Structure 1
């Protein structure tokens, strides 16, 4: 059944507001942040860039998604996921650059460090993104408009939603290896989420990403864990808001499969060897 005309008009207005606000806030934060020494990094080509693109995207995407959310509970979930994942991502971006932190690579490396009594910034990020995803999923489940389930079904629904939110945050981070790649991957994921009552939850992140994209492609700024995690987490909220347990389980299975594949196969090599993907990946990037 299609939405009534008045409801559809309201949804369109929320999506436009969400996209525009995400873009405006993202651009404003990026301009004001500048390029402090703490956030300067060298990218894959040896150019000096700033990680300020991450906080800019996290702030713009979170504010935009909350503004376009269909209910107060969904708005709270968006702010929790976006700002929470962005904060622990920024912590890892800053603290993880220290020499004593660089030795631990991947989840296995972080767990090995924990067994030695060291808590790495990467492990803090993993735990923080998971906690933000769990809290956001619980807020979505508490929405009065969501169909009630048994206690067992509710717990399963919340856990599946948390997995989707955290898994999407991690997936977008895996794509953040070349200028513009994570933003483009998020756009492909988020565009189908735009229609419908909950479309504003995806419009905000896409608007913020559009605002940061020119600096990302121009190799003036990069997303880092802060931006990629927040971007992915908010798209995860948009997915969780429009799916039930079966849909969440299917999405989570796909996220787990892609994450496992990334341990065995280089996404960069796959993209470079696949016509269409190769050209899309390079679109707008400096030669």
Structure 2
């Protein structure tokens, strides 16, 4: 993919995300998306669906093939939709008790289906559908590889790809605890992925993230689960599209390890106590 096409995908992502944010904020349902952030400021969750639309659309437009573009749309919009459901329904008082993956499973054992569990299942389904679409990528090299793979091998490859997409979506969401943190993480992860055949996918996500970063840092908006999950899912597709079974297995192992660590350790505490990360995290943010 040419540099011009990647830059175009990034520009489209930034413009689309900012336009979607304005439209969603001014829609009749806009006031229902207002929330209070960690510092007591009123912000809007409209940035979540705006990022999902901008990143998914631009990344799909920048994809190298129709199957890869379809995978990007399914992952980004699917994760964004179930994330928005959790943002809205999960804010209800009866939903607040269940926290983390173990909390949602405990609620299920008691016969309650939480909004968070719906989100987890939805992100997983979106990741699986995206991985199936990626397996249909019509690239010549991919076709030759599939010819050599057994049905079992292809199935394992798809499951690993689904895990990478869903795991990346979850990881970015886990980082969305302070203004700008999830978008900065997306930029750091996405920028190195803008090269190569599938670079346009990451370029679209990077552009959309850049377009919304000033408003996020200024505590005017909040990504919520919708934006963070969608950004992570799109970047997960970019990762899965450029790796084979071994690469996907390594990525999934790292993602599972980080997710497990998040149940025991506060990422915010780790960042605050680590020189370099602490300054990067605070860069551009309002002073406490």
TM-score grouping bracket, smaller chain normalisation = over 0.9
Name the CA distance, whole Å, in 2 between partners of 1:85 and 1:184. 19
What residue number does 1:3 align with?
none
CA drift of 1:107 comes to 1.4
What residue number does 2:17 align with?
26
Q: Deviations over 1:27-84 (max 9, x none)?
A: 0011111262211110000101000010111000000100100000000000000000
1:126 to 2:120 alignment: yes
1:16 to 2:16 alignment: no
Name the CA distance, whole Å, in 2 between partners of 1:122 and 1:243. 29
What residue number does 2:272 align with?
272
Name the CA distance, whole Å, in 1 between partners of 2:103 and 2:189. 30
Q: Following superposition, which runs of at least 4 residues in structure 1 exceed 6 angstroms of deviation?
A: none
Alignment of 1:103-182 (within 5 A): 103-145=97-139, 146=142, 147-148=145-146, 149-182=149-182
Alignment of 1:1-287 (within 5 A): 10-34=1-25, 36-145=30-139, 146=142, 147-148=145-146, 149-287=149-287
* Matched-pair contact (CA < 8 Å) for 1:164–1:251: yes
* Matched-pair contact (CA < 8 Å) for 2:100–2:263: no
SS, match of residue 264 in structure 1: coil
CA drift of 1:11 comes to 2.7
Q: Deviations over 1:146-178 (max 9, x none)?
A: 221210110010000000000000000000000
Name the CA distance, whole Å, in 1 between partners of 2:260 and 2:102. 13
Name the CA distance, whole Å, in 2 between partners of 1:94 and 1:285. 26
CA drift of 1:199 comes to 0.3
Name the CA distance, whole Å, in 2 between partners of 1:174 and 1:150. 36
* Matched-pair contact (CA < 8 Å) for 1:11–1:196: no
Aligned CA RMSD, in angstroms, stands at 0.9
Name the CA distance, whole Å, in 2 between partners of 1:113 and 1:151. 37
Give the TM-score normalised by structure 2.
0.95
CA drift of 1:12 comes to 1.6
Name the CA distance, whole Å, in 2 between partners of 1:169 and 1:11. 27
Name the CA distance, whole Å, in 2 between partners of 1:181 and 1:144. 36
Q: Deviations over 1:79-108 (max 9, x none)?
A: 000000000000000000011111111112
* Matched-pair contact (CA < 8 Å) for 1:171–1:255: yes
Name the CA distance, whole Å, in 1 between partners of 2:242 and 2:101. 30
Name the CA distance, whole Å, in 1 between partners of 2:106 and 2:260. 19
SS, match of residue 49 in structure 1: strand
CA drift of 1:261 comes to 1.0
Unaligned segments of structure 2, at least 5 residues = none
SS, match of residue 104 in structure 1: coil
* Matched-pair contact (CA < 8 Å) for 1:14–1:67: no
